[in-house]
Amino acid sequence: MIYNCPPNQIGREEQYVKSALQSNYLAPIGEFVDIFERSMAKYLKVNDENVTTTSSGSSALHLALIQAGVTDGDVVFSSSFTFAGAVFPILQERAKPVFIGSGIDGNCTLELFKKALESEPVKPKAFILTHIYGNFARDIFEIYEICKRENIILIEDTAESLGARAVVDDEEIMAGTIGDYGIFSFNGNKLITTSGGGLLYAKNSKDVENVKNYAFQSKDKGYSYTHSKIGFNYKLSNVLCALGIAQLEKITIFIGKKRENNLQYREELNQILGFEAYRHDSVRWMTLADFSLYLDQLDLDSVISRMYDNGVELRRAWTPMQMVELFKEYPVYTNGIEEHIYNSCLCLPSGTSLQKTDREYIVKMIKDTILVEIAKQTPRTSNTSPIE
Ligand SMILES: Cc1ncc(COP(=O)(O)O)c(C=O)c1O
């Protein structure tokens, strides 16, 4: 089976995990936590004291919201084209999401952000902006300028876009390090994985200190177990950080593989399918193919099912938040683009261990599936009718 985005262990995963086990630090502290945090800080071009690992991307997001002071009744802007797990923490804090739609690359646009800001009766406390599918959200610099002016805390959800970057004044700036906070995910399907895990970046290192305290159950200083505020068990284990170090050592290779996938799909499917508009600084975590041309003749779920029967796992694009039952009551500012992406695009297998021959097989299966699905829908016409 060719899965959509499986992990890839090509480095020292076993060696480092073994070593973590031998150290007997089977806890969210230890040498490998320190090394992984330092290595991630270096990769992100930030200082060590500005990052901390967390048990998941979702917990990093939850901690960012808490540290931002988001509470009961606050308004939080959020990308509408994102994973629901990125919105749940807003509801956990009993705040109210307002959804901001996307441009053609799937990321929030400055235009829709401004429109929401002008139209909403209450100013947001924070904005969770997602860098989607490996893309770099191109409007983030202008959005952040407005956020600073308006006292809105900007949280970058970089779960899917570790490694995406922009060059500003000859300097490379990594996605996730521009706003006040950035969060990353090391879930099993991400560019690098710890099987489950995350990381939080904060511009102000004091915030990281506080966040670490929250993540360690808010234990007060001293030997006694006293807690003056609510806490969470949100840190990442030493054993999993060992896995993360080995994965991070291969990140450049992984990004290269992602781009290779995208390029071959484009070359071989461009004649029949459209593709999402990526910027070239995208890490192309996920390649989406656009089936718009065939939508009156085929159903995307049937395509997924037929492909699965042939050993290839395709996936639906994220359901825009305004279409998710749980979030339908909240305001949305959209040009309909993310709904178009949802209705017409599918996520192609985008793992970093895919071989050229795998992609050739996938392309062949997509072409066959389209033909079969179309043949099913269109009544056969023959110019050699036996009746006439
Ligand atoms: C955009 C986005 N935000 C947040 C998350 C949550 O991260 P995690 O699964 O590590 O909790 C994910 C996916 O997993 C995601 O894709």
The residue nearest atom 4 of ligand 1, judged by CA position, is 86
Tell me, using a 6 A CB cutoff, whether residue 85 lines ligand 1: yes
Please, are residues 25 and 31 in contact by the beta-carbon 8 Å criterion? Answer: yes
Where do we find the tokens 């683009």?
337
Domain coordinates of the chain in residue numbers?
Answer: 13-248, 251-377
Picking from 81, 103, 99, 101, the residue whose alpha carbon sits closest to that of residue 91 is 99
Question: How far does CA 69 lie from the centroid of its chain?
Answer: 24
pLDDT of residue 379: 55
Q: How many helices (H) and strands (E) does the chain have?
A: 12, 14
Which mutation among 83, 107, 350 tests ligand 1's pocket best, with the greatest number of atoms within 8 A of CB? 83
Tell me, using a 6 A CB cutoff, whether residue 338 lines ligand 1: no
Please, are residues 362 and 351 in contact by the beta-carbon 8 Å criterion? Answer: no
Rounded Cα–Cα distance for residues 285 and 120 (Å): 33
pLDDT of residue 382: 41
Token digits for 64? 């960012």
0.75 exceeded by pTM: yes
Q: Which residues of the chain have pLDDT under 70?
A: 280, 378-388
Q: Give the number of the atom of ligand 1 that is nearest the alpha carbon of residue 58.
A: 11
Tell me, using a 6 A CB cutoff, whether residue 182 lines ligand 1: no
Classify residue 189 as exposed, middle or buried by CB count within 10 Å of its CB (0-12, 13-18, 19+): middle
Picking from 97, 70, 82, 103, the residue whose alpha carbon sits closest to that of residue 157 is 82
Looking at the DSSP bridge assignments, the partners of residue 288 are 347
Q: Give the number of the atom of ligand 1 that is nearest the alpha carbon of residue 186.
A: 10
The architecture that CATH gives domain 13-248 is 3-Layer(aba) Sandwich (3.40)
> Residue 274: enclosing H or E segment and its boundaries?
strand 274-275
Distance 58 CA to ligand 1 centre (A): 6
Q: Which residues of 87-111 are buried (b: 16+ CB within 10 A; e: fewer)?
A: bbbbeebebbbbbbbbbebbbbbbe
Which mutation among 78, 90, 108, 185 tests ligand 1's pocket best, with the greatest number of atoms within 8 A of CB? 185
Q: What is the largest CA-CA distance in the chain?
A: 96
Distance 319 CA to ligand 1 centre (A): 14
Token digits for 230? 């609510």
Distance 261 CA to ligand 1 centre (A): 22
Q: Which residues of 368-380 are buried (b: 16+ CB within 10 A; e: fewer)?
A: ebbeebeeeeeee
Distance 376 CA to ligand 1 centre (A): 37
pLDDT in tens, 234-281: 999 999 999 999 999 999 999 999 999 999 999 999 888 887 777 768
CB neighbours of 334 closer than 8 A, spacing ≥ 6?
A: 80, 99, 100, 101, 102, 112, 320, 322
Looking at the DSSP bridge assignments, the partners of residue 78 are 99, 128
Picking from 58, 353, 84, 39, the residue whose alpha carbon sits closest to that of residue 183 is 58
| Eight-class DSSP state of 138 | T
Distance 20 CA to ligand 1 centre (A): 26
Q: Does domain 251-377 have CATH number 3.40.50.2300?
A: no
Q: Return the half-sphere exposure (C-beta side, CA atoms, 13 A cut-off) of residue 157.
A: 30
Tell me, using a 6 A CB cutoff, whether residue 157 lines ligand 1: yes
Rounded Cα–Cα distance for residues 313 and 347 (Å): 9
Distance 67 CA to ligand 1 centre (A): 19
